[in-house]
Amino acid sequence: MMSAIGLTLDSGWLLNQPWFGRHFFSKFLIRKNCCKPIGLLLLLLTSLSFAQGFNGFDLEGSLLPAEKILQGGPPRDGIPSIDQPKFLSAVQGGLEPASLVVGITLNGESRAYPVAILNWHELVNDRIGTQALVISYCPLCGTALVFNAEVQGQTLEFGVSGLLYNSDLLLYDRQHLSLWSQITGEAISGPKAGQRLELLPAELTTWQRWHAEHPATLILSTDTGFNRDYSRSPYGDYDSNDRLYFPVEFLSQRYHPKERVLGVEIEGVFKAYPFAELAQRETQEPLYDSLAGKLLRIEYDLPSRSGRVFDEAGKELPVINSFWFAWYGFHPQTAVYSIRP
């Protein structure tokens, strides 16, 4: 609330009025020289309110319409990233076999980040050797993506903005306060707008499967410096029910919204491999497919709903393991692998 010249104004009420736009006072009061001091005051109030409405982030020049960027609930850093991660050996970790982890191998070193921890933090700023990384997990979209944290020679540190686009996490870099879309890896506002993070190959799978393939792996410790109950998920049965907490721009009822798919992009062409379709194959041997003229080998595991993708030369490619609604929400033009012709 602010009071000026006998008027008491609530900025939240003001911004919610249908007649009020962010340029109303600049066009009407200031340009018409009507109550100029009040106009300047209200314009300042408006700017502050808009900044507060987007957790303090400046969306001027945003690549996305501001009305499509939503408050997720917590303020900026209300969901705290893990910036000084500690790790345990596989023996010390004590994970249940069916526990989900985000696994990455880089320069011969393997690490596993339990989803039970990521549910509460969403981001881990880490480093393997000289490589700076940000491990991201959006519980709403079921997306676990690992990015190279170096952009144009600068190492960025990331935090949770508290904002969402298409129900997906918007992270931000602390150096420039640019907002970044997790699923696209693109900065959508601030000085870095239009730049992209490099997506690295990683796997969302069960601890049993990851440990079997990487017995020397390290595990992110629950000693995070925060008081959280990592034995329970704050999202309950969200992963299996058909409810969405936030709107998405595009929806498809072709599959259950939380059906897991492997999403692949090759040169701007997208394709989804739903596990509901993969389960109907007569064999569980690798699937060979082509996308954008490139031959792909898709290796997958039905029990863990996990998979990896390789090109013709055997190089592993990044893959987005996500809920169907999330993949389709960002890629409505996606091709879809189907067992039926």
Q: What is the CATH number of the domain that holds 204?
A: 2.102.10
Does any domain span residue 226?
no
Domain identity same for 276 and 203: no
pLDDT digits (tens, 9 = 90+) for 315-329: 999 999 999 999 999
Does any domain span residue 228?
no
- Stretch 135-146: mean pLDDT: 98
Domain identity same for 123 and 200: yes
Which 3 state secondary structure label does DSSP give 275? helix
Dihedral sign (CA 277, 240, 135, 326) = positive
Closest to 321 measured CA to CA, from 338, 304, 340: 304
Domain identity same for 189 and 121: yes
Q: 82: Cβ–Cβ under 8 A, 6 or more apart, which residues?
A: 117, 121, 123, 124, 125, 220, 224, 225
Q: 72: Cβ–Cβ under 8 A, 6 or more apart, which residues?
A: 162, 163, 164, 246
Domain identity same for 204 and 141: yes
Domain identity same for 106 and 193: yes
On the question of pLDDT at 43 being above 60, the answer is no
Domain identity same for 205 and 92: yes
On the question of pLDDT at 52 being above 90, the answer is no
Whether the Cβ atoms of residue 168 and residue 244 lie closer than 8 Å to each other: no
Closest to 86 measured CA to CA, from 230, 218, 240: 218
Whole-number average pLDDT of the chain: 87
Using 50, 70 and 90 to split pLDDT, how confident is the model at 242?
A: very high
Report angle CA 205, 209, 214 to the nearest 5 degrees. Answer: 105
Could you give the residue ranges of the DSSP H alpha helices within the chain?
A: 11-15, 24-25, 36-53, 90-93, 115-121, 207-213, 275-278, 324-330
Domain identity same for 327 and 267: yes
Does any domain span residue 225?
no
Report angle CA 305, 297, 197 to the nearest 5 degrees. Answer: 75
Domain identity same for 183 and 269: no
Does any domain span residue 198?
yes
Does any domain span residue 68?
no
Please tell me the predicted confidence (pLDDT) of residue 340: 82
On the question of pLDDT at 263 being above 90, the answer is yes
Please tell me the predicted confidence (pLDDT) of residue 53: 66
Does any domain span residue 154?
yes
Residue 281, domain extent = 260-336
CA distance 53 to 39: 21
pLDDT digits (tens, 9 = 90+) for 278-318: 999 999 999 999 999 999 999 999 999 999 999 999 999 99
Structure tokens that stand for 82 in this block: 């893990």
Domain identity same for 8 and 100: no
CA distances from 38 to 50, 217, 297, 327 (A): 18, 63, 65, 47
Domain identity same for 323 and 268: yes
Closest to 26 measured CA to CA, from 54, 45, 6: 45
Q: Look at the block and give the residue holding tokens 């690295």.
A: 200
Does any domain span residue 70?
no
- Stretch 230-250: mean pLDDT: 96
pLDDT digits (tens, 9 = 90+) for 61-115: 999 999 999 999 999 999 999 999 999 999 898 899 999 999 999 999 999 999 9
Please tell me the predicted confidence (pLDDT) of residue 296: 98
Domain identity same for 130 and 207: yes
Domain identity same for 112 and 44: no
Number of domains in the chain: 3
Phi-psi region of 55 (alpha: psi -120 to 50; beta: other; left: phi over 0): left
Does any domain span residue 110?
yes
Please tell me the predicted confidence (pLDDT) of residue 6: 31
